[in-house]
Amino acid sequence: MAEGPRFADERGSSPVEFLLVGTLLTALTLAVLQLALAVYVRNVVHDAAVEGAYHAALADTSPAEGVDRTREVITRAIGAGYAEDIRIGTSGLPEEETVDVRVRSTFPLLGLIGIPFTMEVEAHAPVETFGGR
């Protein structure tokens, strides 16, 4: 019977519980923040591709200007390292031709550090002409 009360003593358990729960909550918070950053980066890259496609589809601009616009938007928002692989092309029939911009970029896993060229977004815009259709 002398052993029972010694093991029933719970002094010191609160700091240990706080440490365990605090570590778990901190890890969960950091994971949510990283997910939010990854979604933000993806949205920036996609919006830049859309902006570049619509700019390149204008009647008085070239595809190279669309690539430049895409690169500029990405560089201003998240950095030049995310704007390394930008491709542009056209598709569709001549009456319904579209400009297609494809961006392959880094997917952030730890802060802005990630695996290069693992995220790919694509945007399309109808080609504008001077004569109308």
**What is the rounded CA–CA span in Å between residue 39 and residue 23?**
24
**CB-based contacts of 109: which residues, under 8 Å, 6+ apart?**
34, 38, 115
pTM of whole model > 0.85?
no
Distances (CA, A) of 7 to 4, 13, 115, 126: 6, 12, 50, 76
| pLDDT per residue as tens digits for the range 21-44 | 999 999 999 999 999 999 999 999
Which has the higher per-residue pLDDT, 94 or 26? 26
